[in-house]
Amino acid sequence: MRLFDFAIIIALSSAFTLTGGAEFYFKETRAKFPDTNEGEILEHDYHFTNAGSSPLVISEYKVSCSCTSVQFPTHPIQPGESGKIHLRFDTEGKYGLQIRKIELYSNSPKNPTILSFKVNVIPREN
- Per the domain annotation, does 1 fall within a domain? no
- Per the domain annotation, does 49 fall within a domain? yes
| pTM for this model (two decimals) | 0.81
- Per the domain annotation, does 65 fall within a domain? yes
- Per the domain annotation, does 72 fall within a domain? yes
Helix (H) or strand (E) holding 26: strand 24-26
Looking at the 3D structure of the chain, how many domains does it have?
1
CATH of the domain at 55: 2.60.40.10
Q: How many H helices and E strands in the chain?
A: 1, 9
- Per the domain annotation, does 32 fall within a domain? yes
pLDDT tens for the 126 residues of the chain, in order: 555 554 444 444 444 444 579 999 999 999 999 999 999 999 999 999 999 999 999 999 999 999 999 999 999 999 999 999 999 999 999 999 999 999 999 999 999 999 999 999 999 987
Question: In terms of residue numbers, what domain contains 73?
Answer: 22-122
